[in-house]
Amino acid sequence: MRVRVEVNGEQRVADDVWEGESLLYVLRERLGLPGSKNACEQGECGSCTVYLDDVAVCACLVAAGQAEGRRVRTIEGDGLEEVQQAFLETGAVQCGFCTPGLIVAAHDLLRRDPAPADPDIREALAGNLCRCTGYEKIMDAVRLAASRAKGRAACD
């Protein structure tokens, strides 16, 4: 089947999509966007997290056809740079496999709650697994991104 979907602000068309295929597969294998990672394909690791119509979801659990006519934003899209930068600066990226999903999940948290307490950060990132960092640097990254956003708000 054919799937039309807006990805990172661009109208895209994927052809010959198998009806049981996931949005993750379409992004990575048909649209040339390998940023979202494929690790578990069962919603457990969060490395495939993307925005679907502004809602953070596991792309591996969205059927390709369910994305028809909708908007997707991946790690390749705009607006995530600040969180990305915070991850780089705090050493929250080691092998980097979990990073794209974590950045979307952290971004999603910060737009809902610009000053999250530590338990809220942990809760918001509970669906994202990292096998390298031990999570402490990731906590630092989210705190840094939050403090920068706060600093900017204070200067405005």
Partner 1 sequence: MEFMRPTTLAEALAMKAATPEAVPIAGGTDVMVEINFDKRRPGALLDLSSVAELSAWDLRDDGTRIGAALPYARVIAEVGERAPGLAAAARTVGSPQIRNRGSVGGNLGSASPAGDAHPPLLADGSTVEIASVRGTRTVPAREFFTGPKKSVLEPDELVTAVLVPAPRGPQQFAKVGTRNAMVIAVCSFAVALDTEALTVGTGIGSAGPTPLRAVEAERFAAGLDWDADLPESAARRFGDLVAQAARPIDDVRGTAAYRRHALGVLARRTLTWAWAEYRRSGCA
Ligand X SMILES: Cc1cc2nc3c(=O)[nH]c(=O)nc-3n(C[C@H](O)[C@H](O)[C@H](O)COP(=O)(O)OP(=O)(O)OC[C@H]3O[C@@H](n4cnc5c(N)ncnc54)[C@H](O)[C@@H]3O)c2cc1C
Contact call for residue 67 and ligand FES (CB under 6 A): no
Neighbours of 87 (CB within 10 A): 25
- Segment contacting ligand X by CB under 6 A, of 26-34, 40-48, 86-94, 99-107: 40-48
Candidate residues 81, 118, 123, 136; the one interacting with partner 1 per rule CB under 8 A = 123
Q: Give the span between the Cα atoms of 42 and 153, in whole angstroms.
A: 38
Residue 155: C-alpha distances to residues 110, 150, 151 (Å): 18, 9, 6
Candidate residues 2, 13, 43, 118; the one interacting with ligand X per rule CB under 6 A = 43
Contact call for residue 44 and ligand FES (CB under 6 A): yes
Contact call for residue 64 and ligand FES (CB under 6 A): no
Q: Give the span between the Cα atoms of 61 and 21, in whole angstroms.
A: 9
Nearer to partner 1, 34 or 127 (CB): 127
How many H-runs (helices) and E-runs (strands) does the chain carry?
5, 5
Contact call for residue 68 and partner 1 (CB under 8 A): yes
3-state helix, strand, coil in the chain (%, to 5): 40, 15, 45
Contact call for residue 86 and ligand FES (CB under 6 A): no
> What does the block give as tokens for 40?
């578990």
CB of 108 to partner 1, least distance (A): 7
Candidate residues 1, 44, 81, 114; the one interacting with ligand X per rule CB under 6 A = 44
Contact 73, 107 (CB under 8 A): no
39 binds, among partner 1, ligand FES, ligand X, none (CB under 5 to 8 A by kind): ligand FES
Number of residues that bind partner 1 (CB under 8 A): 29
